[in-house]
Chain A
Amino acid sequence: MNIFQSIFEALDSLSSNKMRSGLTIIGIVIGVAAVIAIVSIGRGAEGTILGSIQGIGTNLIFVFQGGSQEVLNPKPLTLGDASTMSDPFQAPSVAGVAPILQGDAKVSTGGESTTTRIIGVTPDYGIVRNSSLSEGEFINEEHILGQASVVLLGSEVAENLFGRNVNLTGETVRIDGRPFRVIGILESKGGSTFGNEDDQVLVPLSTAQTRLLRRTNPDQVDAVIVQAFDSQAVPFASEEISNILRTRHRTAIGADDFTILTQQDFLDTASTITGVLTIFLGGIAAISLLVGGIGIMNIMLVSVTERTREIGLRKALGARRADILVQFLTESALLSMFGGIIGIGLGVLISQAVGQIAAANDTPLNPSIGVDTILLATLFSAAVGLFFGLYPANRAASLEPVEALRYE
């Protein structure tokens, strides 16, 4: 028998029991669709997350206090550390330095109030973080020197307090009860890896140090954001910063009391996390494919029993073991192949739908369906069909013709 005849006969046999074949196929459809949808949505999510990390700038370095291990007597980061980092002789690869203090505080106006993140910043922060204003002006040296009570509102904070985010320059808000004059509104950036940047307010660093976010050491800052000249300069800049801090903090060798994170570190971590999640969810989806395969095996076993006489007849007419084996394997392979094809279509539809829903909720998520995903799902479902078809087919092929012909 040639392959086309086998396929034709298998199709004929499957179509004689449409309900049963259809239900069996659905098992595979669900499995394949789940795998495709989850893998492609997972990749889309990874793309979104990595994109938002890249959005913070490829040349940024974050310096925090505290090392990875326990260090005796760790020293906090200070303004002095920050200003040394901006010394072009000690740190030639550094383009900008922005020390920050941050904490939560209650911001209120007339009747409304909201709890939000307060960040104490220097004028360089605007350049380093690439912040832009929808109105007003950024915090300047005068504000720092005068420890001025001025504030820049994130657009969401403005919305919460005033019900609008335009035309607010000159208004007054209270932070922890103290009056602050609004000097501008930050342009909306949307959600990001570091929390919602629209739900925060910026005040001059000196004001934060003295009035809002007091630390034990008056010179202390929570973190320093460093901008390297370009992305190639990042490794050099972080090396220079490390040397400066080791010298200034007099740390023992190999016992840094600070942590330096570059964008690459965030990217690596994020892609590890999303990769693990995708594999984990894909594995769960693959289990449903396995269940579909067991459905094929089940239905093929029923079919072999029902067709015992037919198998006996075929053997009497000269069918060899291999002929019967191929006949039943073709049927189960076709079942899983149809399931696979429909499943791929359904999986693509589901992931597109999820992408649309995400887009409608202002979260950019582009599910990416790679050729490799489709190939994997196809191969996997074909393998499932063959694997689970093998046992019933072998059972059919091993039937004794005499016994099979006598079977009622």
Chain B
Amino acid sequence: MQDRVIEARELTKVYRMGEIEVHALRGLSIDIERGEVVSIMGPSGSGKSTLMNIIGCLDRPTSGEYYLDGERISDLKDDQLALIRNQKVGFVFQTFNLLPRASALANVELPLRYGDRRNNRRERAGAALEAVGLADRIQHKPNELSGGQQQRVAIARALVNEPAIILADEPTGNLDTTSGDEIMELLLSLNKQLGTTLVIVTHDPEIAEKTNRIIRILDGLVEASK
């Protein structure tokens, strides 16, 4: 019995830029199993970012159906999408996107403030930071941390709500090779420990090699999946 955490059918996405219609996705379908580690590759303009936005529930497809963790996403309202993002998706960005004035702990706590009514936020945020190996840095501000450490904080923030998927957009793009490797190892080990599905969007073939499966996107369609 297959357990699909991501199931996308015939997704299309059309942007209007003035008079011109841009077809970013042209009927793309993908499936991702729970616990898989998948990388999405493709040149700029291939529709890779659009796909990532739809998978991450930041955007809706023009047509087609998308199920995330069994829930139909394609036609939810903005606030419902916000809740889905909060509960089921963990984002890791290339530029970390931490709040500069907030401590590591407060940054990790941020997703819990939206939507979570429980009171043990601080403990859960602390536990997530411990899981990424930053237990001794919880009160540091982002500018007091190295790039690798900042990305670890971002990963802890993605983990803290125990999401169905972690969506990482070029997670090592702004890091040197050593810390980049460390971040990849961290992501992979978290996948092993927690079984969280990991979707990595990347240009870097070395990164892609470390994943179970590479989905190549070209001109809004899946070119290859292996």
A positions within 8 Å CB-CB of B: 1, 5, 12-13, 16, 309-310, 313-323, 400-402, 405
Contact = CB atoms under 8 A, between A and B. Distances in A.
Contacts of B82: 315, 318-321
B192 interface: no
9 contacts: A315-B58, A316-B91, A317-B114, A318-B86, A318-B161, A320-B79, A321-B82, A401-B58, A401-B59
Contacts of B113: 1, 5
B78 A318 contact: no
B56 A316 contact: yes
Nearest to A5: B113
A97 B194 CA distance: 105
B78 A321 contact: yes
B114 A319 contact: yes
B85 interface: yes
A405 B101 contact: no
Contact of A313 (B59, B83, B97): B97
Given A16-B101, A315-B85, A402-B53, 5 more contacts: A318-B85, A320-B78, A320-B114, A321-B78, A322-B79
Contacts of A320: 78-79, 82-83, 114
Nearest to B157: A317
A316 B58 contact: yes
B99 A310 contact: yes
Nearest to A15: B101
Interface string B91-120: 101000101011000000011011100000
Q: Quick one: which of B56, B99, B157 has the most chain A CB within 10 A?
A: B99
B150 interface: no
B12 interface: no
Contacts of A13: 101
Contacts of B102: 12
B114 A314 contact: yes
Contacts of B151: none
A268 B110 CA distance: 63
Contacts of A317: 85-86, 91, 110-111, 114, 157
Contacts of B101: 12-13, 16
A9 B111 CA distance: 14
A313 B142 CA distance: 15
A400 B60 CA distance: 11
B222 to A, nearest CB: 21
B73 to A, nearest CB: 14
A18 to B, nearest CB: 13
A12 B99 CA distance: 12
B114 A318 contact: yes
B87 interface: yes
Q: Quick one: which of A310, A316, A401 has the most chain B CB within 10 A?
A: A316
Contacts of A316: 56, 58, 85, 91
Contacts of A402: 53, 58-59
Contacts of B87: 318
B115 A318 contact: yes
A219 B82 CA distance: 95
Interface of B: 53, 56, 58-59, 78-79, 82-83, 85-87, 91, 93, 97, 99, 101-102, 110-111, 113-115, 157, 161
A349 B6 CA distance: 66
B80 to A, nearest CB: 9
Contact of A309 (B97, B110, B115, B161): B97
Q: Quick one: which of A1, A317, A319, A323 has the most chain B CB within 10 A?
A: A317
B217 to A, nearest CB: 17
Contacts of B85: 315-318
A211 to B, nearest CB: 89
B83 A318 contact: yes
A362 B97 CA distance: 66
B83 to A, nearest CB: 7
Nearest to B90: A317
Contacts of B83: 318, 320
A365 to B, nearest CB: 49
A405 B111 contact: no
A238 to B, nearest CB: 72
Nearest to A312: B97
A310 B93 CA distance: 13
Q: Quick one: which of B87, B93, B102 has the most chain A CB within 10 A?
A: B93
Nearest to A1: B113
Nearest to B78: A321
**Lowest 4 A-B CB distances belong to which pairs?**
A318-B86, A318-B114, A317-B111, A320-B82
A399 to B, nearest CB: 11
Contacts of A400: 59
Nearest to A319: B114
Q: Quick one: which of B59, B82, B83 has the most chain A CB within 10 A?
A: B82
Contacts of B86: 317-318
A322 B86 CA distance: 15
A315 B157 CA distance: 14
Q: Quick one: which of A313, A318, A400, A402 has the most chain B CB within 10 A?
A: A318
B203 to A, nearest CB: 17
A384 B169 CA distance: 42
Contacts of A321: 78-79, 82
Nearest to B53: A402
Contacts of B161: 318
A289 to B, nearest CB: 31
Nearest to B91: A316
Contacts of A323: 114
A323 B161 CA distance: 18
A316 B53 CA distance: 10
A309 B98 CA distance: 10
Nearest to B114: A318
